[in-house]
Structure formats: C-alpha cells, structure tokens
Amino acid sequence: MLANLVGTVASEIAAVSPLIGDLEKIGLRSETSLVNFDMTAARDGAWLTAQRLASEPSLLHGVTIDGLDLAVSIGGRAILYPPVGGEGLKVIQQAESKDVRLVIETLSQGGSGAWPSVPS
C-alpha cells in the first residue's frame, strides 16, 4: 500500500529539506494521517471517475478528464503555494536544497538509505 511508504518518503524529504525533519522533534508530525487520508480519498476518487467514464458516452470522456485535470491542478497549486504558512514556511524553504539534480537523485533512492549530503 502506498501509505506504507510514508516513512521512506519523509526521510527522503528530510534529506533535502532538513527543517522538515525537525518538525517531528517538536511534535508537529501529522503527515502520516494526512497521507493515509489522501490515499483513501485518491483511491475513492479514482474509482468514482472510472465508474463515471464507464457509464457515460465516450464523447464526454474528454470533458470529464479535463474537469478532473482542473481539480487536481487546483489541489496541486494549493500544495505548491500554500494559503497559510507565513514566515515559518519561508524559513523551511530557505533551508531546502535548491539543487534540482540532488533533489531528484535523493527522492529517487527509494529508501536505500544512501542519500547524498545536502550542501549548505
């Protein structure tokens, strides 16, 4: 199950965003329940979309998929540009690695535990 990968992903993210890892130390670790909830919602949404596509005329599939694409895009923008966060979020972002190659390599390790060090 995807939700079982939360710990691995959290470790990988902490490798490129060190202050994210510090959130757990001060008792702000709630991402596991949020990810599990999102996995359930995503699975339910995928099933509803599949049922809708199966029951509607194929002529409407493009409109249905465009609507889903818009909804996912709006959700993604809320993650990319959170409506709340203020100065605390800026501090976390400033501590993150800006090296795109390093971030991709770190996140693609898949839990091997061998992360490159993050440059300061």
Structure tokens at 2: 């995807």
Which pLDDT band, with edges at 50, 70 and 90, does 54 fall under? very high
pLDDT 10s digits, 6-24: 677 777 777 788 777 676 6
What are the boundaries of each domain within the chain? 2-107
pTM of the entire structure? 0.46
- Report the C-alpha gap between 75 and 78 in whole angstroms: 5
pLDDT, average across residues 47-75: 93
Q: Which pLDDT score is estimated for 90? A: 74
Judge residue 5's burial from the number of C-beta atoms within 10 Å of its C-beta, 0-12 exposed, 13-18 middle, 19 or more buried.
middle
Instruction: Spell out the residues 6+ positions from residue 14 whose beta carbon is closer than 8 angstroms to its own.
Output: 20, 21
